[in-house]
Amino acid sequence: MLKISSSGEYALLLIKYLTHNPGTHTIGIVSEKLTIKEPFLRKITNKLEKAGIIASHKGRYWGIELVKKDISVYDILWAVGEDLNITVCSGGNCSSSETCGIIPTIANIQRGFDTILKITRL
């Protein structure tokens, strides 16, 4: 169920920072500016890099830069592994789906929520 974790929150902060500060930045400086512990930020950057959102230049100073310019909040949260379902049954894990009368309503709300996340940019 949706509750944005610290990974999701920090990923959003990182992408916002990179969006407003184009170019390559060392992970140490970004870590200081965003007050995120560097090892944790490295884990987040690895996930975002695998999703094609950022590029990192590993080495002594570990540079990172934004490569996907038109990025949604949905893309960022999905990349770091956030569960974007609004309820347990939104993810198809409902044991009473045959007797429950609210699944169509929940599915409709989920579609609306996903749409909002997909059109929202930082």
Over range 58-85, report the average pLDDT: 91
Judged against a pLDDT cut of 80, whether residue 61 lies above it is answered with: no
Give pLDDT tens digits for 12-44.
999 999 999 999 999 999 999 999 999 999 999
The pair phi, psi for residue 49, each rounded to 5°, is: -70, -40
Provide the pLDDT confidence category of residue 65 given band limits of 50, 70 and 90. Answer: very high
pLDDT value for 21: 95
Domains of the chain: 6-119 (1.10.10.10)
Q: Which residue has the higher pLDDT, 97 or 22?
A: 22
Which helix or strand (DSSP H or E) is residue 2 part of? Answer: none
pTM listed for this prediction:
0.87
Label the pairing between strands 63-66 and 54-57. antiparallel
Tokens of 79: 């990349």
